[in-house]
Amino acid sequence: MRALAGALALAFIAAPLTGCGSLINKEEDYVPDDPADKLYNEGLYLLNKKENYEDAAKKFDEVERQNPYSDWARKALLMSAYSYYQAQKYDDCINAAKRYVTLHPGSSDAAYAQYLIGASYFDQIPDVMRDQARADKAVNALEEVVRKYPETEYAVSAKKKIDIARDQLAGKEMEIGRFYMKRHDFTGAINRFKVVVTQYQTTREVEEALERLTESYLSLGILDEAQTAAAVLGHNFPDSPWYKDAYKLVKSAGGEPTENKDSWISRAFKGLG
């Protein structure tokens, strides 16, 4: 992340600015408090010190405030978002990056702005015991990077973060499902494990979800679905320790891991085996 941002900052320093394109009426003789380039370079100086990120962001904010509609303002807005990110002021980063994407959707740097939005949500993902709203927002924002800017270097990093965030979301469903099992609310547990199997089947949680489905269905006396869960688990993850547990459970109930092709479990994994 820092390597990408560092290269971006250097590019800004080296890149010549085009015309300001100001919409201010020159007849009004408007003079900003400080020249845009002075404020911008002061922001860069603070940013490069690596200990004054929030102060750097405020300098970049001043560029936009005093010199709206200029190329300086456009560049400063993105640098402001990056500075807030480095300062771990994630809400401020998200707001600045969203403004950049809205105001400059065709810019070559829009991909990075969108990436900053996703990365800010991602860095705020809490442990699995807590609400995972930020993980969901991270996935949505990062998927926008992959969808809109698939050929950029940011898409590669976004995909890695998406996988981690999806694991977190699946882990939350598993945590709630296990809680329901302890309360012997097996229907509630099945509903949670079903979310993992249908929505997060490429995550590391899916093996346990299938085993827990086997347990839960057996507890409800629904042998057919338990056998299917065990069979699908064995077919897709034959070496999984979770399959060994599921196999033993089904056998102890007098059944065999046999797949019912009409089961929702089988349909969820159709074509993946």
Q: What is the pLDDT of residue 79?
A: 97
Q: What is the pLDDT of residue 269?
A: 86
Q: What is the pLDDT of residue 70?
A: 87
CB 193 within 8 A of CB 181: no
pLDDT tens across 124-163, in order? 998 877 888 999 999 999 999 999 999 999 999 999 999 9
Listed in sequence order, the residues at least 6 apart from 80 whose beta carbon sits closer than 8 Å to its beta carbon are 43, 57, 60, 61, 64, 96
φ, ψ (nearest 5 deg) of residue 155: -65, -35
**Residuewise pLDDT in 10s, the chain (273 residues):** 555 555 454 444 444 444 444 434 444 444 556 788 899 999 999 999 877 899 999 999 999 899 888 899 999 999 999 999 999 999 999 999 999 999 999 999 999 999 999 999 999 998 877 888 999 999 999 999 999 999 999 999 999 999 999 999 999 999 999 999 999 999 999 999 999 999 999 999 999 999 999 999 999 999 999 999 999 999 999 999 999 999 999 999 999 999 999 999 999 987 554
Q: What is the pLDDT of residue 272?
A: 55
Domain residue spans of the chain: 32-87, 184-273
CA dihedral 80, 81, 82, 86 (to 10 degrees): 100
Listed in sequence order, the residues at least 6 apart from 129 whose beta carbon sits closer than 8 Å to its beta carbon are 175
Q: What is the pLDDT of residue 186?
A: 98
User: Half-sphere exposure (CA, 13 Å, Cβ side) for 174?
Assistant: 22
- The C-alpha atoms of residue 232 and residue 68 are separated, in whole angstroms, by 59
Q: What is the pLDDT of residue 166?
A: 96
Could you write out the DSSP letters of every residue in 17-45? Answer: P------S-GGG----SS-HHHHHHHHHH
